[in-house]
């Protein structure tokens, strides 16, 4: 199964992606996670990406597209994958389409997690993430069992630098301008499915599973 997850920042893509990846045994490929790993390792890609990410802007298409194309050729992608945070522009969506067409493959669905912007600020400023394993928590909606400590790997959880109030509003504007057009892009190709992301985390997951059960 090849799935694209769409939705504004803070919609719950990363949260749902972890569960979908476990349930369907497909790798969860988050471009944000790949950039953050490169930043923490100080690679040239990380150094280039950091300036954009800290400002809430998108990393240029060429850099992002090449990075994803490379990742999709890894062995673990042969039975499918779940893309989280990619594509984010029409140029990226077209590049993915070309990549798939060259291999005689197709996307199964673009699943949009719908959350109105009134929910986003609280979700993002309350988000805490594990820098070691990538698990995502929320101080109010999804706290770890022990405050400040990752349930999965025991590392201290942190607030992302781009989850401050100022950066969140820039990221929402960027989403509306550059990423929201992908809803129409995939709808026009009859690939769009939507889920109400305002429900509780487990309810959203149940809705996603019933959609994915009928796309194959
Ligand atoms: P995205 O990957 O789309 O940016 P995340 O999955 O990181 O979003 O979720 C953003 C924040 O909202 C996290 O703190 C997460 O724990 C919380 N969250 C995710 N889904 C829900 C939900 N259905 N209800 C309440 N909070 C949620
Ligand atoms: P995320 O973890 O998905 O919230 O992404 C964090 C940041 O990484 C974004 O605000 C962008 O700066 C950058 N980023 C992630 N994915 C992409 C993408 N597909 N295209 C451009 N920039 C991206």
For 105-147, how does the pLDDT look when each residue is reduced to its tens digit (9 = 90+)?
999 999 999 999 999 999 999 999 998 888 899 999 999 999 9
Q: How far is CA 102 from CA 29, 99, 215, in A?
A: 20, 5, 22
pLDDT in tens, 17-44: 999 999 999 999 999 999 999 999 999 9
Q: pTM of the full predicted structure?
A: 0.96
Is 127 among the catalytic positions? Answer: yes
Q: Is CATH 3.40.50.300 correct for 2-27+74-115+166-215?
A: yes
Position 215 scores a pLDDT of 78
Q: Is the pLDDT of residue 216 over 80?
A: no
Ligand at shortest distance from the CA of 83: 2
Q: Is the pLDDT of residue 210 over 80?
A: yes
CA 101 / ligand 1 centre spacing (Å): 32
- The three-class DSSP label of residue 142 is strand
Radius of gyration of the chain (CA): 16
Q: What is the mean pLDDT of residues 91-99?
A: 98
Diameter of the chain by CA atoms?
A: 48
Q: Are 19 and 205 in contact (CB under 8 A)?
A: yes
Contacts of 131 (CB under 8 A, 6+ apart): 40, 155, 156, 157, 158
Q: Is the pLDDT of residue 73 over 70?
A: yes
Is 123 among the catalytic positions? Answer: no
**Domain extents in the chain:** 2-27+74-115+166-215
CA 26 / ligand 1 centre spacing (Å): 20
């Amino acid at each position: 199964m090849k799935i694209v997850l769409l939705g504004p920042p803070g919609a719950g893509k990363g949260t749902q992606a972890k569960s979908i990846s476990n349930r369907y045994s497909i790798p969860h490929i988050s471009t944000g996670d790949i950039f953050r790993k490169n930043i923490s390792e100080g690679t040239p890609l990380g150094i280039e990406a950091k300036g954009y990410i800290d400002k809430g802007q998108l990393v240029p298409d060429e850099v992002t597209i090449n990075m994803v194309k490379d990742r999709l050729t890894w062995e673990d992608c042969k039975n499918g994958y779940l893309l989280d945070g990619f594509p984010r522009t029409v140029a990226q969506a077209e590049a993915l389409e070309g990549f798939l067409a060259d291999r005689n493959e197709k996307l199964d669905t673009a699943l949009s997690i719908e959350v109105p912007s009134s929910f986003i600020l609280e979700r993002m400023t309350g988000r805490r993430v594990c820098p070691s394993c990538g698990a995502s928590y929320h101080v109010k909606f999804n706290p770890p069992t022990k405050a400040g400590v990752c349930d999965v790997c025991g590392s201290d959880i942190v607030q992302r630098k781009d989850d401050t109030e100022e950066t969140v509003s820039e990221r929402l504007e960027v989403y509306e301008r550059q990423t929201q057009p992908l809803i129409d892009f995939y709808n026009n190709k009859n690939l769009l499915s939507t889920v109400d992301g305002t429900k509780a985390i487990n309810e959203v997951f149940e809705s996603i599973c019933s959609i994915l059960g009928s796309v194959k």
